[in-house]
Amino acid sequence: MKEKLEQIREAAKAQLADANADLEAIRIRFLGKKGELTGVLRGMGQLSAEERPKIGQLANEVREYIENAIAERAEADKRAALDRKLRDERIDVTMPGKAPEIGKRHPLAQVQKEMEDIFIGMGFGIVEGPEVEYDYYNFQALNIPENHPARDTQDTFYITDNILLRSQTSPVQVRTMEKQKPPIRIISPGRVYRSDAVDASHSPLFHQLEGLVVDKGITMGDLKGTLETFAKTMFGESTQIRFRPHHFPFTEPSAEVDVSCFVCGGKGCRLCKGEGWIEILGAGMVHPNVLRGCDIDPEVYSGFAFGMGIERVTMIKYGIDDMRYLYENDVRFLNQF
């Protein structure tokens, strides 16, 4: 029996030396209820009274030995696993970090913000209007009755017979004058729609910025001064503006406004197509019919309005020759601004 116990100790020792030892299986094999050591202890009844304590003591020693050996091995395995982890997952704190990519505003949004800031600096407030608009606000209240030829140049998308996607930001003029009595001094940037095919200078969706000033004694001189200040701030101090007679149903008199070409200074170049001038907006004195329709007496009050394309200003400012670049969102293009 003594030899049997020594064998068990040696067998356990040998198994625990194996690199792939399964500790739980070893524990069950030697110390479990049906384990080898337990088997020996069960046979102790057959021993003589003087042998029994000696064998009992040895059996205890062997059990303690195996228990300790398993615990030591478990501890060693744990330490080895931790060492491996520390080695494999080592961090080089001197390595340069990954810089986060910081986004920025789209060029159209940048220019819109710049335009807004210029007008805010002159005391204008910002008002927004709906993109899905009534025919009444987009056309009728702007002195463009049904079948008026001016509708042809602003054909848009219709939701119903009298609801459409606004073709201009001018309806915000009417909405503002209905709600607010003079003095009025607002700009209104936003999306507008026209059923135009896409090409280098057209898009069914684009952006405009509308301006409206109504008060006692407002004249064309105020309009000119305001637009000149805008043009000089936007395109450079030496920029000049030029008014050409035009027609808009909702302003009288009306004008198309050009800025002197800031690339060639007016001599003629590729940007201004040899003209020396670049058209940037439409403007005029608010038509008495429009004022009257909003319950503002044209005998007491007068006003001016203007509207310009934000794409157009952006393209002129940055020398972009194809509008489609502004909508493709190719980062190689956008990163330049």
Which part of the chain contacts ligand PHE (CB under 6 A), choosing from 125-133, 194-202, 219-227, 303-311?
303-311
305 binds ligand PHE (CB under 6 A): yes
303 binds ligand PHE (CB under 6 A): no
Which part of the chain contacts ligand PHE (CB under 6 A), choosing from 28-36, 51-59, 91-99, 280-288?
280-288
Query: Least distance in Å: CB of 111 to ligand PHE?
Result: 17
Residue selected from 249, 282, 293, 303 as contacting ligand PHE according to rule CB under 6 A: 282
Residue nearest to ligand PHE (CB): 307
Distance of alpha carbon 6 from alpha carbon 89, whole angstroms: 44
Query: Least distance in Å: CB of 155 to ligand PHE?
Result: 13
59 binds ligand PHE (CB under 6 A): no
Residue whose CB is less far from ligand PHE, 30 or 250: 250
Residue whose CB is less far from ligand PHE, 31 or 283: 283
Residue whose CB is less far from ligand PHE, 15 or 203: 203
Residue selected from 35, 189, 190, 284 as contacting ligand PHE according to rule CB under 6 A: 284
Query: Least distance in Å: CB of 106 to ligand PHE?
Result: 22
Length of the chain: 337
Residue 306's nearest CA partner among 236, 253, 239, 261 is 253
> Restricting to residues 200-229, which ones interact with ligand PHE according to CB under 6 A?
210
Q: Give the CB-side neighbour count of residue 118, counting CA atoms within 13 A.
A: 19
Query: Least distance in Å: CB of 169 to ligand PHE?
Result: 7
Distance of alpha carbon 113 from alpha carbon 187, whole angstroms: 12
Distance of alpha carbon 233 from alpha carbon 277, whole angstroms: 17
> Restricting to residues 165-204, which ones interact with ligand PHE according to CB under 6 A?
168, 170
Give me the 243-262 binding string for ligand PHE, x by CB under 6 A, dash otherwise: -----x--x-----------
Which part of the chain contacts ligand PHE (CB under 6 A), choosing from 43-51, 72-80, 290-298, 305-313?
305-313
Write a three-state SS string for the chain. CHHHHHHHHHHHHHHHHCCCCCHHHHHHHHHCCCCHHHHHHHHHHHCCCCHHHHHHHHHHHHHHHHHHHHHHHHHHHHHHHHHHHHHHCCCCCCCCCCCCCCCCCCHHHHHHHHHHHHHHHCCCEECCCCCEEEHHHHCHHHCCCCCCHHHHHHCCCECCCCEEECCCCCHHHHHHHHHCCCCEEEEEEEEEECCCCCECCECCEEEEEEEEEEECCCCHHHHHHHHHHHHHHHHCCCCCEEEEEEEECCEEEEEEEEEECCCCCCCCCCCCCCCCEEEEEEEEEECHHHHHHCCCCCCCCEEEEEEEEHHHHHHHHHCCCCCCHHHHCCHHHHCCC
> Restricting to residues 76-95, which ones interact with ligand PHE according to CB under 6 A?
none
Q: How many CB atoms lie within 10 A of CB 250?
A: 23
306 binds ligand PHE (CB under 6 A): yes
The site for ligand PHE, by CB under 6 A, has a size of: 11
Query: Least distance in Å: CB of 272 to ligand PHE?
Result: 21
Residue selected from 184, 214, 227, 283 as contacting ligand PHE according to rule CB under 6 A: 283
Residue whose CB is less far from ligand PHE, 158 or 333: 158
Residue whose CB is less far from ligand PHE, 37 or 286: 286
Binding site for ligand PHE (CB under 6 A): 168, 170, 210, 248, 251, 282-284, 305-307
